[in-house]
Amino acid sequence: QVHLQESGPGLVKPSGTLSLTCTVSGASISSDNWWTWVRQSPGKGLEWIGEIFHSGRTNYNASLKSRVSMSVDKSESQFSLRLTSVTAADTAIYFCARVSVPGGELPPPIDYWGQGALVTVSS
């Protein structure tokens, strides 16, 4: 069974950097899946942050692109998120997830999600 687990500080100071890691088990991070981050502000909807392939190729939400970076550590079966210059608006539950392998040309769905990690931006 595929399992994803987020880890990282639950509290980040304003103007600081948010760093989260997602550990993947039950699947190879070097497979043909993209690995993605989605966040959800308290009481709000889902916001796609970006995604990364095991080669290191990335695709970021344009609204966050200047502050976001993602990386992959294949030896640890992990992928990570960094978000710089955070403000209270970045307070959210951050989910890591796996995008399923496309069966054709159509963009595939997210098939596995982590449980989510609450990150609060506050001094």
| 58 lies in the binding site for other proteins (CB under 8 A) | no
DSSP tag of 109: P
**Which span sits near other proteins by CB under 8 A: 13-21, 44-52, 69-77, 84-92?**
44-52
Joined tokens for residue 107: 């963009």
45 CB-near residues (< 8 Å, 6+ apart): none
| 89 lies in the binding site for other proteins (CB under 8 A) | no
Q: Which of 1, 66, 89, 106 binds other proteins (CB under 8 A)?
A: 106
Tell me how far apart the alpha carbons of residues 101 and 96 are, in angstroms, rounded to a whole number: 16
DSSP tag of 101: P
CB of 74 to other proteins, least distance (A): 23
Please give the residues from 13 up to 42 whose contact with other proteins meets the rule CB under 8 A: 36, 38
Contact in structure between 113 and 93 (CB atoms under 8 Å): no
| 70 lies in the binding site for other proteins (CB under 8 A) | no
73 CB-near residues (< 8 Å, 6+ apart): 79, 80
| 8 lies in the binding site for other proteins (CB under 8 A) | no
Residues that bind other proteins (CB under 8 A): 36, 38, 45-48, 51, 59, 61-63, 95, 97, 100, 106-111, 113-116
